[in-house]
Each structure stands twice: as C-alpha cells, then as structure tokens.
Amino acid sequence: MSESDKLPSGRTRIESLEMRGITKRFPGVLASDHVDFDVRSGEVHALLGENGAGKSTLMKILYGLYHPDEGEILINGKAVRISSPTDSINLGIGMIHQHFMLVQTLTVAENVALGLPSSRGLLTDLDRVSKRIVELADIYGLRIDPSAYIWQLSVGQQQRVEIIKALYRGAALLILDEPTAVLTPQEVDELFVIMKQMVKDGHGLVFISHKLHEVVEISHRVSVLRDGRMIGTRPTSEVTKQDLANWMVGREVGFIPDRGQAQRGEPRLQVKNVFCGSDRGTPGLRGVSLEVCSGEILGIAGVSGNGQRELAETIAGLRKVTGGQVLLEGQDVTNLPPAELTERMLSYIPEERMRDGMIKEFTVAENMVLREHHKAPYSRYGFLNLGEISRHSDELIKRFRVKTPSRDTRAKNLSGGNIQKIVLAREIFRTPRVIIAAQPTRGLDIGATEYVREQLLEQRRKGTAVLLISEDLDEILALSDRIAVLYEGQVMDIVNREDATPEKLGLLMAGVHPERQAG
C-alpha cells in the first residue's frame, strides 16, 4: 500500500462508498425507496431534500443506527455489513450529527475517549488522548483545548470537537448533517476551509443542508431526495439553485418572497433598557432597548445563546424582567403573566415549539384552541364547546394546509413543519397586535418555510408588529425591515435592511463593531 493511500491521520482512504437499492420501511411510511447513493475520496457530495425526504434515514443506515430492509453497502467495491455505529466507525465512517452528540459535563478529551479502548486497560488514558487530539488539531487546523468542558465551548468549537471525534476514530468518510444550521457566517467560512482541507487530503464528505447557496459553494456533486426516492445526482457545476429547489419540492418555488413596501405605523412594542437573568452558560439581557412598529418586521440576528431566547421570553411574560420596561401599545406590561399578554393580543411562536408551543399528547384540535379554549365560542360556563372547536380547527387545518390524518390526531405524531403550522395558525389566526416569532422556520423544509414566511409577511401587511428572531441570516435578510444584532445580551446595532450585508451582520454577531473600531 503506497503512502498516497493514507490520510494525514494515518488511516487508509475510502476510495468509494456505494449504497445500492437501499429500502427502509417504517410502519405506514416508505422512508427510503431503493435509493442509490455514492461518495468518493476527495469530494464533497451534497445531499438535499425536504424534511421527511429520507436524508436522515439514509445516513442513519449508513452509520448503523438503522438497518435497511433491502439493499447493500459497498466500500471500495466490497460488500460490508453495518449493524451498529461501532461497525461503521471501524469501517472508517464518521458522522457529525445535527444535534451534537457531546456530553456537556465532560471534557473534550473525555468525549473523544468515550467508548474507545484505553491503552491502560481499565483505566482512562486521557493524557495520551489529549496529546493525539492536539496532533490531529494541528494537521487539520482545528484549534481546540482538550481539557475544556463542552459547556464552556461555543457552538462552532463544539462542532470542531465532533469533527475531531470522528477523525480520532479514523474516519475516512464523514457525514455532516446540516453542519451550518447553527453557525455564524464566519464560522461557516471556517468550517468550509476545514472541509476543503479534508477533501484535499483525500477524505470523502457527505454534506447535508437546506441552504442551497452553501451546497453550490462547497459541493462537487449534489443528490436530491424526495419522498424517500432519489430524484437524481448531478455535478454541482451543472445545476442552478432554482433547479435544486424545484427538484426538492417537486414544483416551481419562489424562494425569495416578495416583501413589498413596509407601511410602518405607530410603535406597538417597546423594550426599554431591559435586564434579565439567564439559564446557565448564556448571558441574559443587559440593557436591551428596541421598538417594533405596526406593519414592520424587526429581525433579531445573533449567534445562538446571545440573549435571543431571553428576549423572546421576557416579552412573552415567561422570564422575569429584573430591570427596565416592556411596553405594549404604550402600556407598561413588564412582568405581566402570559395570560394577561394574550388578552392584550400578543402572540408568541416559541423556539422550542414541541416543548413550549404544544402539548404533545393533545390532539391537533386541542392544540389549536390552547390559547383561547377558556373563552367563547370555544367554551361556555367552563364547559368546552367541542362542536365549535372541531369546526374551528377544521377550518384552520384547511387554511394553513396542515397535513394531518384528522383533527383528532395527537400532535406528537405530526412532522415538525406541520406542528409549526398549528402553532402559527393558533397564534396568527386572531390577527394579533404583536407577534414574537422565535426561529419560526428552524428545521422546516423549503415548502413549509416558504409558507411560514408568507404568513409572517401577510401579518405585516395587515399592520401587525412582528419581532422575528432567527439564527438564519438569509431569513433575516429576506423578511426584515430593520435588523437588530444581539451580542452577549446587548444590542450591537440596529441597521436598516437596505444597509445590511451578511458580512456586516456577521461582524456584529461576532461582537465587532466596524464603525466603532474605525472611529
């Protein structure tokens, strides 16, 4: 075996990996329907598809978390059996999960060493592991402190730990499941530098993303999955973003919505020098001031954990304001209970919709009236008016195109996009005065995203004040009239849409204020 077969980590390359005729059935669903997919050494192969298209299923089969009902996997032309993550790790396959598979309370070295045999038998050999981590970090340009605890690290750093974990285990082929979803533009750039280096060194990468421009930028080939079937694989240079979007959805999509002119009116929501506490690890708010007017969308940009969640929660009455004021239509609503804010027509689309926006065990219909169930016409004298609730929820299901077998289906059995539609339907049906939308399209596929964005713009046309919190800069730029950037619990700056560029926002998100620095 010649030197060139080796990767810098010392591992032999995987020249080619093929998945042939992979079929996987779940009760009632054909998640993967005779799918062919392949990756070669030295390429980034992007895998595109809407939620539920079967990307995750396919990759989980490759990583040994699921077992296919049919089909085979070949490495360098030889059939292999992968029945557990251990098997795939041993074959040189690594996976960077969308939700990091890291133990927050352990150190980097401990996370890397977990599950591996130790050179000292029963005892851990963390010092040796740390040394090797530093070596690998040098080779691939991933700076990381092996003795740091995961909870101390930024999201971008945590992702590097995930990559190191895979490399440490000798991964020749890496699956990156939506790796950019949680990163700042700068961090995305850094990740791409690392990815390019790895490809140059002979690794094969599978890149899963919703963001078409990233796919176009980084990948060599792109495959599109829809409804469990492979639509096609092309060299990236031969396709346009529009082609890819159409293939994914199966129809023509206009994916930059038409914003139209803002009809900015009177201030509806004012946040004045607000302070609040935080959960462990992230800053709370430290003197945040902003205002959202009628007919306007104010976008809140920032890297996850810089106070976005706290901002949404303080306004929604879920977190105690320790200083400052929140005004709703000129009236002080600081620290009022959520029920009172509902009365005043504030709507909240929470970030963790499964946890905060929904009761999983309740039916679609029950979730639809969660906010107003105690009022006419949904209840009288303390009794629920089931007829009215049914009629109302059927109407919303139709209007918001919620894909559900019936209104009596339990919410937990629906997909993320449909759950978001239910929350959205409930929150905007009554045409609120103010909407707080926290990460409203996170985890949604293009079709659902398009729909949610349209609805927010529709609300804006109707004169509602919308506060849009999103970590997706494209979304912020596509929807907002003005953009506020949060950094460590403070507003770095508020810029008009016309003046905003991804680069400028990216610097603000990283805590750098170009004008202030220059001046």
Partner 1 sequence: MISDLFSVTVLIGILASGIRLSTPYLYAAIGETFGQKSGVLNLGVEGQMLLGAFAAFYVAMTTGSLWLGLLTAMVVGALMGLAMAYVTVNLHAQQGISGIGFYLFGLGMSDLLFQKLLGTVETVQGFPKIYIPVLSDIPGFGEIFFSQNILVYGAYLLVPLAWFVLNKTTLGLKIRAVGENPDAADSLGVSVARTRYFTIILGGILSGVAGASMSIALLNVFQQNMTSGLGFIAVALVYFGAWRPIGVLGGALLFSLINSLQLWIQVLSVPIPSDLAVMMPYVVTILVLVATVSKVRAPSALSKPFERGD
Q: At what angle do helices 126-140 and 185-200 cross, to 10 degrees?
A: 90
Stretch that binds partner 1, among 6-14, 97-105, 328-336, 358-366 (CB under 8 A): 97-105
Shortest Cβ 161–partner 1 spacing (Å) = 11
Q: Smallest gap, in angstroms, from Cβ of residue 278 to partner 1? A: 14
Q: Which stretch binds partner 1 (CB under 8 A): 121-129, 136-144, 262-270, 341-349?
A: 121-129
In the complex with partner 1, the residue whose CB is nearer, 82 or 476, is 82
Q: Is the CB of 132 or the CB of 453 nearer to partner 1?
A: 132
Residue 478 is encoded by which pair of tokens?
Answer: 């596509």
According to CB under 8 A, which one of 29, 79, 81, 86 is a site residue for partner 1? 86
* Cβ proximity of 389 and 365 under 8 Å: yes
- Distance between CA atoms of 519 and 511, rounded to whole angstroms? 16
User: Least distance from C-beta 97 to partner 1, angstroms?
Assistant: 7
The alpha helices in 49-180, defined as continuous H runs, are: 55-62, 85-91, 108-113, 126-140, 155-168
In angstroms, give the least distance from the CB of 48 to partner 1.
Answer: 19
Q: Which is nearer to partner 1, 107 or 342 (CB)?
A: 107
| Residue 132 sits in the site that holds partner 1 (CB under 8 A) | no
Name residue 387's amino acid: G
Instruction: Tell whether residue 89 is a contact of partner 1 (CB under 8 A).
Output: yes
Q: Which of 123, 260, 382, 387 binds partner 1 (CB under 8 A)?
A: 123
The window from 109-117, 225-233, 329-337, 437-445 that contacts partner 1 (CB under 8 A) reads 109-117
83 touches 65 (CB < 8 A): no
* Closest distance to partner 1 from the beta carbon of 60 (Å): 8
- The span from the CA of 310 to the CA of 274, in Å, is 10
Q: Please tell me whether residue 110 binds partner 1 under the rule CB under 8 A.
A: yes
Binding test (CB under 8 A) with partner 1, winner from 10, 115, 323, 377: 115
Best CA proximity match to 482, nearest among 265, 292, 329, 307: 292
477: left (phi over 0), alpha (psi -120 to 50) or beta: alpha
Give yes or no for residue 113 binding partner 1 (CB under 8 A).
Answer: yes
Tell me if 387 contacts partner 1 by CB under 8 A. no
Binding segment (CB under 8 A) for partner 1, from list 102-110, 222-230, 233-241, 377-385: 102-110
C-alpha to C-alpha distance for 482 and 298, rounded to whole angstroms: 5
Minimum CB–partner distance for residue 56 and partner 1 (Å): 7
Catalogue the E-assigned strands of 150-302: 173-177, 204-208, 221-226, 229-235, 267-276, 285-293, 297-301
Q: How far apart are the first and last CA of the chain?
A: 59
DSSP assignment letter at 471: S
What does the alpha-carbon distance between residue 237 and residue 30 come to, in Å, rounded to a whole number?
31
Which stretch in 112-120, 191-199, 314-322, 344-352 sits in contact with partner 1 by CB under 8 A? Answer: 112-120
> What is the largest distance, in Å, between two alpha-carbon atoms of the chain?
82
Single-letter residue type at 392 = H
Binding status of residue 420 toward partner 1 by CB under 8 A: no
Piece of 79-87, 324-332, 436-444, 489-497 that binds partner 1 (CB under 8 A): 79-87
Q: Which of 27, 28, 77, 117 binds partner 1 (CB under 8 A)?
A: 117
3-state secondary structure 59-100: HHHHCCCCCCCEEEEEECCEEECCCCHHHHHHHCEEEECCCC
| CA torsion through residues 222, 89, 50, 300, sign | negative
Task: Tell me, letter by letter, the H, E, C secondary structure of 466-510.
Answer: EEEECCCHHHHHHHCCEEEEEECCEEEEEEEHHHCCHHHHHHHHC
Of the pair 39, 95, the CB lying nearest partner 1 is at 95
């340009």: which residue's tokens? 141
List binders of partner 1 among 155-184 (CB under 8 A). Answer: 165
Task: Return all residues near 80 (Cβ < 8 A) that are at least 6 apart.
Answer: 73, 74, 87, 91
Residue 55: CB minimum distance to partner 1, A: 12
The phi and psi torsions of 492 (rounded to 5 degrees) equal -70, -45
Number of Cβ within 10 Å of residue 266's Cβ equals 11
- Answer yes or no whether residue 84 interacts with partner 1 by CB under 8 A: yes
CA distances from 149 to 107, 109, 400 (A): 4, 9, 44
- CA 326, CA 341: separation in Å to the nearest integer? 11
- Window 9-48: contact mask with partner 1 (x via CB under 8 A): ----------------------------------------
> How many residues sit close enough to partner 1 to count as binding (CB under 8 A)?
29
- Binding positions for partner 1, 238-277, rule CB under 8 A: none
Query: Which two structure tokens, joined as six digits, stand for 95?
Result: 């996976």
Compute the C-alpha angle 222/225/230, nearest 5°: 90
Residue 113 or 369 having the CB closest to partner 1: 113
Out of 104, 154, 282, 409, the only residue in the binding site for partner 1 (CB under 8 A) is 104
Q: Determine the interface stretch with partner 1 among 8-16, 113-121, 187-195, 456-464 (rule: CB under 8 A).
A: 113-121
Closest CB to partner 1 among 116 and 253? 116
Please identify, among the stretches 106-114, 182-190, 247-255, 444-452, the one whose residues bind partner 1 according to the rule CB under 8 A: 106-114
Report the residue number, 89 or 358, with the smaller CB distance to partner 1: 89
Tell me which residues touch partner 1 (CB under 8 A): 56, 63, 65, 84-86, 89, 95, 97, 99-106, 110-111, 113-118, 122-124, 165
